[in-house]
Amino acid sequence: MHLPSAFRLDLRRLILLFAVTTALLTLANTFYASYVTQRDLLIRQTLETNRVYAAKLADSTEGLLNLARQQLAYSVAVLAPVFDQPQKLMAETERLKTQTSIFNSTYVVSADRSLLAISPQALAKPGSVVNSDGAREAVAMRQPLVSQPFVSVIGRLVIAVSHPVFATDGRYLGYVGGSIYLRERSALDVLLSDHHYRDGSGLYVVDRQRRILYHHDAERIGEVMPGNPVIEAAISGDAGAQRVTDTDGVDMLTGYASVTSTGWGIVAQRPTEATLAKLHGLMLEILGNSLPVSLLTLLCIWWLSRLIARPLWQLASSARQMDSQPAAEQIRQVSSWYFEAAELKRAMLAGLAQFNHKIGQLNHDTITDPLTGLLNRRGMLARLEQWQAGNRPFAVIAIDVDHFKQVNDSLGHDAGDQLLRQLAQLMEQVARSNDVLCRNGGEEFMALLPETSLADACAVAERLRQCVADSPIPEGMSVTISLGVAHCPLSSAGIEHALKQADQALYVAKHQGRNRVVTAGAA
């Protein structure tokens, strides 16, 4: 049975089908592999960020509690000699409440749990017996402690920080304490509530009984959390990060840490979906950008399939006329180019590799000064954009060679170029590994020092100035530099302002006699 010619599967169609299928599968595999790699990287970065974040908040909470204990310890020294004087007890509770702002309320309780003084005074009357769990625990333990959450006599869910008071003869008099409200504004709430995302991410704190001490949803404070690996690890004193499913069934990327003195667990989490949301948009953008190239590739495949099939089609046509006289001549005239095609493929691959190398070199050249090897102004601005996006503070040093024109005029431009290269080398010797060194143009240079104070930047600038002054150029001529130092955001309103201040300080250094360092503040 013979198929119609329109449906006949010839070599050209076979090659086209195979090549298109291979190209689509390769594109899909590359796209998927890229997605998986980027997804795993984002998840690892988010887990590590949340782990560091939880550890930082655990340290901050520990510091807040230590400060509270220190304040109470100081009050004990004041209260012990006057424990039988109600007015002085009241004055000290007022001072403790007003001065520290750590506690929502402060109080003094006797050994029989009688309230001797309290601030604010409207909360309870002195002389009443305090029957809260925190009071009983403080009297029973007779040592500095942070209580478990309990409901106070006025119906608030609180934790109490207390310190025992002993007479000079060792007799237990009672304790002084402060309450931190869990469902209302407090120092602990202020510390933790500033760290909350708006994309479903959040932070919560639990005690050893898994009771929630802080949650961005105030209604959940006091609730006992069901056990999960993250909470169990945190309250057992561990720190780390895990990917878990929360009680609402949401896939979360979680970091956790422990507050050592209390055994509280601090958990910072972010939904996996929120973490990957930007990745999905990025992959769609990549796909959109790759479509024109993909269409062009398919067009080339179609053309190549015709080119590959043509010699065999010619041979087949000639084979059908083997009994004719011109058949031999027709076969000799068929262009059999397969070996040359393989060589061409190899040459194209070599050319592509060379092209990629040149593109990479071109990208490097666009941000690098060819004379000194330092970043040019474009590279410097790109780095500043990264720092600005991360709100990263830095110091900036503007540098200019004194009397550079005289070097060019007297020794020639080759000596001037050698001087600039030598200055770049000295800057690299003085700078740290993470400092950014740039040549703005001509004899103007700039150094960007991340996470560096203005005073430290001035010290670096002075070392560089002295190093240049002590290093003559090869022709023996002494050269000096003038430097202006500024800081962002310490001494400016933004990056452009900081750069401008550094230039102004450099201008002042020039007019004050050159060969000196001037800070933006001094300028």
Domain borders along the chain are: 42-289, 377-519
Superfamily of domain 42-289: PAS domain (3.30.450.20)
CATH topology of 42-289 equal to that of 377-519?
no
Percentage, residues of the chain above pLDDT 70: 83
pLDDT in tens, 374-403: 988 888 888 888 888 888 899 999 999 988
Q: What is the pLDDT of residues 192-215, one digit of tens each?
A: 776 555 666 788 888 888 888 888
In degrees, to the nearest 5, what angle opens at C-alpha 138 toward C-alphas 136 and 139?
Answer: 65
Q: Which of 260-264, 406-410, 418-422, 426-430 has the lowest mean pLDDT?
A: 406-410
The H or E element spanning position 291 is helix 272-319
Average pLDDT over residues 479-485: 92
SS3 category, 207: coil
Residue with tokens 């769990």: 133
Question: 54-70, pLDDT tens digit by residue?
Answer: 889 889 888 888 888 88
Q: At what angle do helices 404-411 and 413-430 cross, to 10 degrees?
A: 140
Give the distance, in angstroms, between the CA of residue 108 and the centroid of all CA atoms in the same chain. Answer: 45
The mean per-residue pLDDT over the stretch 244-267 comes to: 86
Q: Would you say 447 and 428 are in contact if contact means Cβ atoms under 8 Å apart?
A: no
Which pLDDT value is given to residue 318? 55
Radius of gyration of the chain (CA): 38
415/144: higher pLDDT: 144
Instruction: Provide the CATH number for the domain formed by 377-519 in this structure.
Output: 3.30.70.270
Round to whole Å and give the CA distance between 404 and 516.
Answer: 16
Residues contacting residue 408 through CB under 8 Å, at least 6 positions apart: 415, 416
CB 380 within 8 A of CB 446: yes
Task: Label residue 261 by pLDDT band (50, 70, 90).
Answer: confident
> At 173, which helix (H) or strand (E)?
strand 172-181
Buried b (16+ CB within 10 A) or exposed e, 112-135: ebebbbbbeeebbeeeeebebebb
User: Which residue has 């007890």 as its token pair?
Assistant: 89
The lowest-confidence range among 4-18, 234-248, 494-508 is 4-18
The full DSSP string for 73-126 is HHHHHHHGGGTT-HHHHHHHHHHHHHHH---SEEEEEETT-BEEEEESGGG--T
178 vs 315: which has the higher pLDDT = 178
Token output for 305: 């399939």
In this structure, the number of other CB atoms found within 10 A of the CB of residue 95 comes to 15
Q: What is the pLDDT of residue 458?
A: 93
**Which pLDDT score, from 0 to 100, does residue 98 have?**
85
H/E segment holding residue 48: helix 11-79
Residue 252 · residue 271 · CB < 8 Å: yes
| pLDDT > 50? residue 449 | yes
Q: What is the pLDDT of residue 522?
A: 61
DSSP states along 468-505: HHTS--TTS----EEEEEEEETTTSSSHHHHHHHHHHH
pLDDT in tens, 146-199: 888 877 766 778 888 999 999 988 899 999 998 888 877 877 777 777 655 566
* Cis geometry, peptide bond prior to residue 489 (ω within 30 degrees of 0): yes
The residue among 134 and 165 whose pLDDT is bigger is: 165
Instruction: Give me the chain's average pLDDT, please.
Output: 81
The backbone region for 519, taken as left when phi is positive above 0, alpha when psi lies in -120 to 50, beta otherwise, is: beta
pLDDT in tens, 106-122: 889 998 989 899 888 87
